Amino acid sequence: MKVSYLNPISKLGLDLFDDKYEVGAEYAESELVLVRSAAMHDLDLPACQLAVARAGAGVNNIPLDKCAEQGIVVFNTPGANANGVKELVLAGMLLAARDVVGGIEWVKANKEDPEVSKAAEKAKKKFAGTEILGKKLGIIGLGGIGIKVANAGAALGMEVYGYTRHLTDEKKAKLSAEVNCVSNPMEIYANCDYISLHLPLSDATKGMINADILSKMKDGAILLNFSRDKLVDDAALAEALASGKVGKYVSDFPNAAVANMDGAIVIPHLGASTEESEDNCAKMAVEQLRDYVENGNIRNSVNYPAVSLGEKGSCQRVSILGKGLDVNAVLSKLDVANGTSAVKGDYCCILADVDKVCDVCLGEVKALPGVLRVRVI
């Protein structure tokens, strides 16, 4: 099984591949692909490609629909880099609250002054700020990172509010009791001193922070974006910063517009750039690829449903991916000892353990409408 990687991937992750895998193969010949930020939209998808694993959370650099149509499962690693991003969000809040950057730049500019220490005492009032203790922090999106930021804010003495479209029991269990969950994000926009975005970029979320939303924020609110730059309408943001409606904008995503805005603190996408995050993402990505290849199980896919039959035993296991499949019609072609299936949107995955695969039956399965890929493991 050939494996390629389009970005540098932590050795701790790559070392989890055993000798059944050829790591570092050419992309065009690889069944498995590991990627971080490299853009895949303009790449051809080889017929041999089985799966792509994003060592990280965001997948806007991968053609998800195109992959799904070709029976290529795309994985990501939610939560693996959550602590690294959380820590940078906290740093971003503090940088916005206290003009640390301005103070550092002043010292650099005056480093040749032999009386710099005295001058600093006079100059420091220009860089005075506020404390975050007791301030209201609003979290839009309570995924792995959003929950950690919410809990950390509460631990630092902030009054924390969180919003998510689907507040599951699992999420509730992970949230500090001090975090207040709201049913309408407008409560956060209208009342919070700090607003931190933690949700994926999609057609529904693109430009969600627009002129209307910005106008409803508290005067001088701090907006933090460690998710994706296109969640925010740049033109509307520029006006809000210029008017003082938004006090500071802290973003981990430089672009030509934001990099030139006064009041913007722009970081060069360092959220997950820690040794620990890169190791965790790589290990999780490789583990998911191996589980899919060796057992057919799908965990944390963004274009196919989660499905599992556990570790493969003595039976042969058949993995079937398709679009709009008639599950009963598929299973009727196989002598199934144990099976399961799941659907996500239009796409379906069927796993079936059989004592022995019949080649004729397998051919009949492949010929069924909507079947995209069939593997015998």
pLDDT tens sequence across 167-198 = 999 999 999 999 999 999 999 999 999 999 99
Whether 101 and 147 map to the same domain: the answer is: yes
* CATH of residue 181: 3.40.50.720
Position 57 scores a pLDDT of 85
* CATH of residue 350: 3.30.70
Chosen domain end from 241, 266, 291: 266
In terms of DSSP bridges, do strands 136-140 and 336-344 run parallel, antiparallel, or are they unpaired?
unpaired
Position 58 scores a pLDDT of 85
Chosen domain end from 248, 266, 284: 266
Whether 132 and 254 map to the same domain: the answer is: yes
Tell the residue number behind the tokens 């399961």, with chain if given.
340
CA gap 276, 10 in Å, rounded: 10
**Inside any domain, residue 328:** yes
Position 311 scores a pLDDT of 97
E-state strands within 117-182: 136-140, 159-163, 180-181
CA gap 144, 284 in Å, rounded: 15
Whether 70 and 197 map to the same domain: the answer is: no
Domain count for the chain: 3
| CA dihedral of residues 121, 122, 124, 127 (deg, nearest 10) | 180
pLDDT, one tens digit per residue, over 331-374 is 999 989 999 999 999 999 999 999 989 899 999 999 999 999 99
Chosen domain end from 266, 284, 318: 266
Whether 313 and 356 map to the same domain: the answer is: yes
Whether 86 and 108 map to the same domain: the answer is: yes
Whether 145 and 189 map to the same domain: the answer is: yes
Domain hosting residue 325, numbered range: 305-370
**Inside any domain, residue 377:** no
Whether 242 and 121 map to the same domain: the answer is: yes
**Inside any domain, residue 375:** no
Whether 100 and 137 map to the same domain: the answer is: yes
Tokens standing for residue 276:
């620990």
Tell the residue number behind the tokens 């210029």, with chain if given.
242
Whether 124 and 240 map to the same domain: the answer is: yes
Whether 135 and 284 map to the same domain: the answer is: no
**Inside any domain, residue 311:** yes
Tell the residue number behind the tokens 């956060």, with chain if given.
188
Task: With a cut of 50, list the residues of the chain below it in pLDDT.
Answer: none
- Identify residue 248 by its one-letter amino acid code: K
Whether 187 and 94 map to the same domain: the answer is: yes
**Inside any domain, residue 57:** yes
**Inside any domain, residue 376:** no
CA 18, 21, 25, 27 torsion: positive or negative? negative
**Inside any domain, residue 226:** yes
Whether 192 and 207 map to the same domain: the answer is: yes
Position 176 scores a pLDDT of 97
pTM of the model: 0.82
